Structure 1
Amino acid sequence: MNTFVHTSLVVQLRSGAADRFPVLAHLSYDADDPFAVTVAFSHDGRILARWQLDREMLGDGLVRSVGVGDVRFAPEPDGPWQEVRMEFHGDAHPEAGRHHAVVFAWAPAVAAFLRQTHRVVAPGTENAGVDDFLAELFTESRPHGG
């Protein structure tokens, strides 16, 4: 069974008050990290930013506003398309303020990607591997020998 899902979408980036311009969003999902979706934004073959997103939160953002802090998602009702608005707040920069970008993606394409991830690992069946991690941690911390 394939445990990896990937798709590339053309999305619209708006940084600051500027107009939107197209960039590629490469979404990937790996069953080894079942709660996360990684998205890399690129333009002219150069990676602009890479974010690790919460898969459930991304799905919720297709139907309602979610998120506080650095990452927020919401359906975008004002545009001509069914869009999801992805808002990212980055590190502070020396000129004052924080880096901020808004990305608009076609919601049906994001939903289709998430459905593919759900076929790999169904929602609610994710295994965080905490038990394995703790077992390995305790094994390594035991004194060796006698």
Structure 2
Amino acid sequence: MNSSDTTATAELGLRLVVPDRTAVPLVARLDYTANDPYAIKVAFHVGEDEPVEWIFARELLTVGIVRPVGEGDVRVWPSKGDGERTINISLSSPFGQAQFDAAISPLAEFLHRTYEIVPAGQEADYVDLDAEIEQHLYQ
């Protein structure tokens, strides 16, 4: 995992859960920055093409480690299989659906680092609301 005072990056090994087949291993890159303190960008590397990117609420992934959370397009829940605690992530879009699972430990380590950068409940202190409004008004 790479990190600085305002950013954290990690690679997470995932398994794409494919019905009636062996799970397909892949890697996702996780990026967090204090400039966008509520979000974690996840780039799924699914082949030689550009990665597929999703943006998750940091809180969604954090809560998903301990209990089911989310509805609609993104759902996250913990499970235990083969003696290993895992997190499941289900994604749905107009282009299709996918379900992944990953070991909880590396994700929890990454999330811990994000909370060292921006503590829970202090996210609003890192957002320049006036600049955000101005950016959207004058695009």
Alignment TM-score, normalising by the size of structure 1: 0.80
Query: Root-mean-square deviation (CA), in Å?
Result: 2.1
AA partner of residue 12 (structure 2): L
Gaps of 5+ in 1: 93-98, 141-146
Q: CA deviation at 1:79?
A: 4.3
Name the count of aligned residue pairs.
132
Matched, 1:112 2:109: yes
AA partner of residue 84 (structure 1): I
Partner of 2:58: 55
Instruction: Write the deviation string for residues 61-83 of structure 1: whole angstroms up to 9, x where unpaired.
Output: 00000000000000013443110
Q: CA deviation at 1:91?
A: 1.3
Q: Pick from 73, 76, 80 the counterpart of residue 73 of structure 1.
A: 76
Q: Secondary structure at the match of 1:124?
A: coil
Shift in alpha-carbon separation, 1:17–1:100, aligned structure 2, 3 A: farther
Q: CA deviation at 1:14?
A: 1.5
AA partner of residue 53 (structure 1): F
AA partner of residue 77 (structure 2): A
Q: Pick from 101, 110, 118 the counterpart of residue 121 of structure 1.
A: 118
AA partner of residue 108 (structure 1): S
Percent identical: 30
Instruction: Write the deviation string for residues 98-126 of structure 1: whole angstroms up to 9, x where unpaired.
Output: x1111101101111000000010001000
Q: CA deviation at 1:130?
A: 2.4
Shift in alpha-carbon separation, 1:21–1:90, aligned structure 2, 3 A: same
Q: Secondary structure at the match of 2:84?
A: coil
AA partner of residue 132 (structure 2): F
Instruction: Write the deviation string for residues 20-70 of structure 1: whole angstroms up to 9, x where unpaired.
Output: 111001111011000000111114454442110000111000000000000
Q: Secondary structure at the match of 2:97?
A: strand
Compare 81-90 and 12-21 and name the one that shifted more: 12-21
Matched, 1:33 2:32: no
**Bigger Rg over Cα:** 1
Gaps of 5+ in 2: none
